[in-house]
Structure 1
């Protein structure tokens, strides 16, 4: 555990953690069917929606800061966050005519108002979908067509993209914009501030909202195990379960909020991604933590926020850990208040962890965890106090794990628990392909379980390319390539890159008479996808290797090229 003045109760808790998660006790997690059960106690999942869960304990900390901008210091207390979220919800019901189950799409960078947008939409009875603020109009167009939102929420920088996406999709949807203090409201948009700061709001319209734990609350887009992005339907029960699972005393990575204590976490992971939205924002608000937001990662603002806000808990992805260990501007002073760093999104080399730990002069937890959008997202985590930096952890409460292969110790990791998604939005075939009849979610990741039930992620069975922790689906890039009038067929692979982890490489077959250069191909793709998805290399082939059923043999491409 991190260095701190431990009370007798805390010392007992630390001891109980060690006992519970000892090897002797861990042998009992295995069932006769080779299923590894969670070593943590089972929990009862509250029968409520996610907003009720977040506000449940607000009376204990109404005047504490809930969210604050790490650059401008603009902030809202928990009471203000509750009030403004309900204001926004009421305006969505009255002015935007939002009804139960309607979709609301947020395309914003991290800010204190992101919380108001999400919680307000949920309070209005909507289901929230999120879009990456660096998406191109083509990417947003596809999500608009799939998600069918009734309202779009953006910032001035994203409004032109939203408008172009609507034109491409042939849709007429109102755009709500969060105005910058030093800018004017974009033309033909509705002021976000005027909606949530409104006076004399009629809250009675919120009595008409009727949402249950089984209703979908969020549907962020993920590539799943393969293919194009799909809307992952996460119910209120899924999200509440994953919140409560993180509160169990044997795996809790924060100090409880009291009159005299409030832990501080940094919201630098993007909120459009489920890791940032669920683990960093929603869960930490439910526990009364202060969330410091940064609109994007930049070395100077990140370093300043770490020091100025005395961050206690840092939720990270591998590129951020690499930065912490290698950037000379990060010193012990910046990490002095950090008690715990958690890292997910991709496997992390032990050497990267050691570089970070060598910078601190106090005892600090560094815990690997594992999850996916489809499991809300947390499935496993190393317990506080662990010094094993290679494993992704044990199943969290109420969670079962298994690997499917001959020896039941190495193979595809399957997960079963209350956090497993309802399914892919309007895609029963894709849902059936990844969720078994008895509730197991097939992750598509190759993993092993040790004798104590701890997970090590070995590789991906799925074809997703990991660029700096971002998931890039080859099928999406292949579809873009084949939109070019001179390209008849295409395949995309991820190839190793020392700086980015992997980068996409394209194998292209031209139509008869087609004459284009590699730089023309990369430029064509770059105009249509976010920067991290861009093709870095192009190989022209006469034909792609395929099996008798027509599936591209990417293994052959990888071996030959």
Structure 2
């Protein structure tokens, strides 16, 4: 299955934002027939000479792109250095209100916010700041300001429930929360649940009152005569953690992914290599325009769309939510050149009658990931476009910074996820960790400077996915062709993919077991024609109690985001388990799915 970091909620049409699908533990000897079918059906290979001779004698695939030197600098240093080349160009603009900020504004306001964090909140090096905001231009000011203050940044989904935010607050231990009026009630309830008293900074609506007991974000970053000298006390290194997004990894509950400044800067520079760059270079007379629609709280939107495109000098047009008419008008009115998409958005562009060639006139490149994409969905868009345009598949995971592979510009192969980007090695292994050759099916491993430092406060989970010699085990089932191009074939892990967004069964099982009448529970993903998969629960009740299915689903719905909600409940006397007590989900699937 195709996987990318990274993601969108298509409100009204798709309801859920797209998130990253990360991989699965697999057993090459027990591959599904579906996986083998997928492998054999995807036989198209790249023909360009530059993709030959990438295989080593030990079956490791090197990147066909030139190696790059990774700058020894912080994320903010990397972006601010570039700002000097285009200070007066627009960095961010809101698609609905047209409020905008130049690169010079971004630099000034981020440093204002950083100084206020140091003086008013007493943020110190290595403290954590939590952002729970939608895609507004000010997201970049909060993010870069927190980094400039020496903090690490953890990002929360703005549609999370208090229970989900409570868990992240307990794990990430932020010193301050930054939100918008819509998220303040959730943040306050999460703090009540955690019994913590943490300041809340709010980007208030221009015509709205500031919520009680919160701090105005605008008053801080727009302040005059701010003393920036306090920022001289910040002492951070490229090896220090910059971002702490949360991912379920290959399975289980969400874990904090530690991405260092070096991880992120490496991934930025990898995307700028001329043989794979998907944007035109910014000059005095030219600036590409991208759309910030995939959510900034997740690694793809955060790193690839927001931070990297700022470092490259692109204009980022932000959309806080998907609305069909607003989206297609934005594509036309703002002359979007680069669209980073996920399959539901591609499906919408190709099938919606309101999307015409006029809306796509400026579009030069679409990149897509997060789930399998039928060729027909690609051709529907290409048929609407009256000019030459690139449609490129890519692949990545939160744990690898997030980008790992991408098809090169000019490619017409829509079935593969591309070759490894610069300084990136790939290999395929079987269940005995034997490294396989071309077109053999196994688990994809990745090694490169963008691989995370590890999972926060979870050395066992880190050791389970990163080998001693630096290979990250994706858990995704795939193959590498003779030219080193990746095909992601199947997903054998337990993560449920609802419209491309990953839902860990363990999380829902824990919520179910919190119900006072539930003794035991299991959750599986079952196929759904509209959403891809949906969670289905198998519940064992305590002796002597009777509960209706809707009571169970309502209990869960109050505690999780909408896309995680359970759609069906089956009551059983007992769950099938082996002699050691391990749940046999295979039996549940065979009998009830």
Q: TM-score, normalised by structure 2?
A: 0.90
Matched residue SS, 2:175: strand
State the partner residue of 1:34: 59
Q: Does 1:133 align with 2:158?
A: yes
Matching residue of 1:398: 423
- Residue 558 (structure 1) shift: 1.3
Residue 24 of structure 1 deviates from its aligned partner by 4.1
Q: Does 1:274 align with 2:299?
A: yes
Question: Deviation at 1:266?
Answer: 0.2
Structure 2 residue corresponding to 1:75, chosen from 100, 125, 129:
100
Distance in 2 between residues matched to 1:411 and 1:553, nearest whole Å? 23
2:533 to 486, 491, 502: 502
1:162-173 map, 5 Å: 162-173=187-198
1:99 corresponds, among 120, 124, 145, to 124
Corresponding position of 1:334: 359
Distance 1:550 1:204 in 2: 60
| Residues 410-450 of structure 1 deviation map (CA, whole Å, 9 limit, x = unaligned) | 11110000000000000000000000000000001111111
Whether 1:297 and 2:346 are equivalent positions in the alignment is no
Give the distance between the partners of 1:415 and 1:433, measured in 2 at CA.
Answer: 14
Gaps of 5+ in 2: 1-45
Structure 2 counterparts to residues 370-409 of structure 1, below 5 A? 370-405=395-430, 407-408=436-437, 409=440
The match for 1:87 is 112
Taking the aligned partners of 2:204 and 2:50, their CA distance within structure 1 comes to 55
Counterpart check, 1:475 vs 2:524: no
Shift of 1:461: 2.9
2:494 and 2:417 map into 1 onto residues whose CA distance is: 21
SS in 2 for 1:386: coil
Structure 2 residue 269 is the aligned partner of structure 1 residue 233: no
8 Å CA contact 1:413, 1:445 repeated in 2: yes
CA distance in 1, matches of 2:281, 2:47: 25
CA drift of 1:357 comes to 1.1
Aligned to 2:466: 435
Shift of 1:355: 1.3
Q: What per-residue deviation string (whole Å, max 9, x for no partner) do you get for residues 240-267 of structure 1?
A: 0000000000000000000110000000
C-alpha separation between the residues in 2 aligned to 1:382 and 1:504? 32
Verify the 8 A CA contact 1:412 1:461 in the aligned structure 2.
no
Task: Output the CA distance in 1 between the equivalents of 2:271 and 2:492.
Answer: 28
- Counterpart secondary structure, 2:207: coil
- C-alpha distance in 1, partners of 2:492/2:256? 21
Would you say 1:265 and 2:290 are equivalent positions? yes
8 Å contact 1:487–1:514 — kept in the other structure? no
Asked if 1:514 is matched to 2:545, the reply is yes
Of 40-49 and 348-357, deviating more is: 348-357
Provide the residue aligned with 1:245 in structure 2.
270
Paired residues of 1:444 and 1:462 also in contact (CA < 8 A) = yes
Q: Distance in 1 between matches of 2:587 and 2:383?
A: 43
1:67 alignment partner, SS class = strand
Q: Does 1:424 align with 2:455?
A: yes
Is 1:57 the equivalent of 2:82? Answer: yes
Q: 2:557 is matched with which residue?
A: 526
| Uncovered stretches (5+) of structure 1, i.e. residues with no partner | 1-20
In the aligned structure 1, how far is the partner of 2:166 from the partner of 2:588?
32
Structure 1 range deviating more: 334-343 or 538-547: 538-547
The one-character-per-residue Cα deviations of 1:187-217 (angstroms, maximum 9, x if unpaired) are 0000000000011101000000001000000
Which residue of 2 is the match for residue 491 of structure 1? 522
Alignment match of 1:43 (pick from 65, 68, 75)? 68
SS at 1:56 equivalent:
helix
The equivalent position to 2:313 in structure 1, one of 250, 272, 288, is 288
Shift of 1:481: 0.5
- The whole-number CA distance in structure 1 between the counterparts of 2:236 and 2:82 is 20
Distance of aligned partners of 1:218 and 1:518 in 2 relative to their CA distance in 1, 3 Å threshold: same
Secondary structure of 1:87's aligned partner: helix
Partner of 1:415: 446
What secondary structure is seen at the aligned counterpart in 2 of 1:403? strand
Tell me which of 328, 332, 338 is aligned to 1:307. Answer: 332
Worse-matched range after superposition: 291-300 or 225-234: 291-300
Q: Equivalent residue for 2:584?
A: 553
Q: Residue 160 of structure 1: CA displacement?
A: 0.4
Deviations 1:279-327 (A, max 9, x none): 0000000000000000011112111111110000000011111111111
In structure 1, distance between residues paired with 2:582 and 2:93 = 50
Alignment size in residue pairs: 541
Alignment of 1:359 with 2:384, yes or no, is yes
Deviation at 1:25, TM superposition (A): 4.1
Aligned-pair distance for 1:514? 2.1
Q: C-alpha offsets along residues 397-419 of structure 1, whole Å, 9 cap, x if unaligned?
A: 00001111264421111000000
Deviates more, 1:220-229 or 1:350-359: 350-359
Distance 2:565 2:328 in 1: 28
State the distance in 1 between where 2:231 and 2:242 align. Answer: 16
The match for 1:147 among 168, 172, 177 is 172
RMSD: 0.9
Provide the rounded CA distance (Å) in 2 between the counterparts of 1:82 and 1:150.
23
The answer on whether the counterparts of 1:37 and 1:400 sit within 8 Å (CA) in structure 2 is yes
TM-score (norm 1): 0.95
- Distance in 1, matches of 2:51 and 2:355, equals 38
Q: C-alpha displacement at 1:547, in angstroms?
A: 2.1
Once the two structures are superposed, residues 219-245 of structure 1 have per-residue CA deviations (whole angstroms, 9 ceiling, x without a partner) of: 000000110000000000000000000
- Say which is worse superposed, 86-95 or 319-328, in terms of deviation: 319-328
1:522–1:534 Cα contact (<8 Å) kept: yes
Per the TM alignment, residue 351 of structure 1 is displaced from its structure 2 partner at its CA by 1.5
Query: Out of 551, 569, 572, which is 1:538 matched to?
Result: 569
C-alpha displacement at 1:22, in angstroms? 4.2
How big is the shift at 1:457?
0.7
Aligned-residue offset at 1:344 = 1.2
Corresponding residue SS for 1:37 = coil
Superposed, 1:119-130 pairs within 5 Å as 119-130=144-155
